[in-house]
């Protein structure tokens, strides 16, 4: 596939749909470059030199698989780890986008990273390709970069993620806009950099202890989105250049950009909660409510507010928010009853009434064994009530894959979708329960090593990583 090939056969309706999602407002300097045809600086992202090893063939047992690596460390034996866990590598799939999609579908994230490295290198983004024409960003390579950087975030390689993002500059050079190359992208408007990549660029510093910088970037992003929304509300297209083609275009684009605005504020909220900055967190949630209320999609955010109030002991406000979260929900619907029980149980825990809370969490879990929050809270209540073995038994049940179906080479999925918090809480209960915690955690690791893919972070097992 040629990443520089032009898209030339789009209909007018297709161009309008793409315009909504691609819309962005360049800085004044960049806008002048686009209007006057001035080249301006180029966006030439490249893979880091320290990352070259990702492109190497690592053999049938990829040492970068975190679960296998942890097994090898615990056993002090590579071969024993290989016998315990089958790892899929980038070498085992086709070296193209189809192979990449296969790895992602099966949750082999490190192998997918290796393949993104190879594909981006083939498109001119390798370390030794810096400055070459072929390394210019295209719609295809922009999507590949988004995928790669998202995988670096998923695998918690935050330093490398930030290093590779630096090569993108501010994501505002003229060549990231379709108008820069109308001969390649006739009729296209806006930015070939996906919004999700701009959001990732904005929040990235928070993962390397630069929260203030992340907030500055996020609020700048929010300000640009607010201008886009203002243009739409005034009857113009996102960039304010022409009148909206029709009412449906205006409505659907407004919904899209209001949701994107809330994604930005959600990132800000995460930063405030980690910092225990509850006033800023509450203000941010109310801002999100005001954006989603016109669409009737805001009620769940009152539940978020309730949990924030619980964090600093304001039970009265929390209860009021939980009630607002359920307003408009069908009272007899199973989902409403389940959510009401969850909210009531949270209030009971905050009030130290663990027996009553446990009963409610048990009701929720029995009706929906996939409810991770109910399972975790059941275990917490058991711990506080001195019923440690009951809590351990519950979490062990949820982390034990079912026996393989006759004739099937792989186990069926576990009873509960795997989640780091379930494994981490079970490891903590082992530590509280006995001095045999290390061996029990190793048995837990061995149990879950049979589940294919990277569905858990290795640190969830609370075993030594080095």
What residues in the chain have per-residue pLDDT under 70?
A: 1-8, 49-63, 127-134, 403-417
Considering the domain boundaries, does residue 452 fall inside one?
Answer: yes
Domain count, the chain: 2
What was the pLDDT predicted at 291? Answer: 96
Contact indicator for 215, 268 with CB cutoff of 8 Å: yes
Considering the domain boundaries, does residue 240 fall inside one?
Answer: yes
Question: Which residues are registered as beta bridge partners of 191?
Answer: 177
Residue where one domain finishes, among candidates 297, 318, 352:
297
Residue where one domain finishes, among candidates 297, 330, 352:
297
Considering the domain boundaries, does residue 371 fall inside one?
Answer: no
Token couple for 462: 């609370």
What was the pLDDT predicted at 405? Answer: 53
What was the pLDDT predicted at 40? Answer: 82
Could you list the residue range(s) of the whole structural domain that residue 440 is in? 394-403+414-466
What was the pLDDT predicted at 41? Answer: 86
What was the pLDDT predicted at 331? Answer: 86
- Quote the radius of gyration of the chain (alpha carbons, Å): 25
Contact indicator for 396, 426 with CB cutoff of 8 Å: yes
What was the pLDDT predicted at 107? Answer: 95
Considering the domain boundaries, does residue 432 fall inside one?
Answer: yes
Residue where one domain finishes, among candidates 297, 330, 346:
297
What was the pLDDT predicted at 416? Answer: 52
What was the pLDDT predicted at 154? Answer: 96
Contact indicator for 254, 20 with CB cutoff of 8 Å: no
Considering the domain boundaries, does residue 302 fall inside one?
Answer: no
């Amino acid at each position: 596939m040629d990443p520089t090939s032009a898209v030339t056969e789009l209909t007018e309706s297709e161009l309008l749909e793409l315009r909504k999602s691609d819309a962005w407002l360049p800085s004044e300097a960049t806008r002048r470059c686009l209007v006057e045809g001035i080249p301006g600086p180029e966006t030439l992202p490249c893979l880091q030199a320290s990352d070259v090893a990702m492109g190497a063939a690592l053999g049938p047992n990829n040492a970068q698989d975190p679960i296998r690596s942890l097994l090898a460390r615990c056993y002090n034996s590579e071969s024993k780890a290989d016998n315990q866990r089958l790892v899929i590598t980038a070498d085992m799939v086709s070296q193209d986008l189809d192979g990449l999609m296969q790895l992602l579908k099966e949750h082999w994230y490190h192998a997918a990273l290796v393949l993104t490295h190879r594909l981006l290198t083939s498109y001119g983004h390798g370390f030794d390709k810096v400055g070459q024409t072929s390394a210019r960003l295209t719609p295809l390579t922009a999507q590949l970069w988004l995928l790669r950087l998202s995988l670096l975030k998923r695998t918690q390689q935050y330093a490398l993620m930030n290093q590779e993002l630096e090569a993108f500059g501010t994501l505002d050079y003229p060549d990231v806009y379709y108008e820069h190359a109308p001969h390649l992208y006739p009729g296209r408007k806006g930015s070939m950099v996906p919004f999700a990549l701009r959001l990732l660029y904005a929040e990235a510093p928070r993962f390397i202890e630069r929260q203030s910088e992340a907030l500055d970037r996020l609020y700048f992003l929010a300000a640009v989105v607010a201008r886009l929304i203002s243009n739409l509300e005034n009857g113009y297209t996102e960039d304010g250049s022409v009148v909206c083609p029709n009412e449906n275009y205006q409505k659907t684009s407004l919904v899209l950009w209001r949701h994107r605005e809330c994604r930005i504020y959600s990132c800000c909220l995460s930063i405030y909660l980690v910092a225990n900055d509850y006033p800023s967190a509450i203000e941010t949630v109310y801002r999100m409510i005001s954006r989603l209320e016109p669409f009737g999609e805001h009620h769940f955010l009152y539940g978020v507010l309730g949990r924030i109030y619980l964090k600093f002991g304001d039970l009265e406000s929390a209860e009021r928010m939980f009630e607002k979260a359920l307003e408009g929900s069908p009272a007899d619907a199973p989902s409403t009853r389940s959510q009401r029980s969850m909210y009531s149980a949270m209030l009971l825990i905050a009030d130290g009434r663990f027996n009553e809370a446990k009963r409610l969490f048990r009701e929720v879990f029995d009706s929906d064994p996939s409810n991770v929050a109910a399972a975790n809270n059941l275990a917490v209540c058991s711990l506080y009530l001195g019923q440690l073995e009951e809590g351990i038994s519950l979490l062990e049940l949820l982390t034990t894959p079912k026996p393989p179906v006759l004739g099937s080479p792989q186990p069926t999925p576990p009873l509960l979708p795997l989640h780091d918090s379930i494994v981490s809480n079970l490891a903590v209960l082992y530590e509280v329960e006995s001095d045999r915690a290390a061996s029990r955690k190793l048995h837990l690791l061995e149990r879950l090593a049979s589940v294919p893919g990277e569905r858990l972070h290795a640190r969830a097992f609370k075993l030594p990583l080095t």
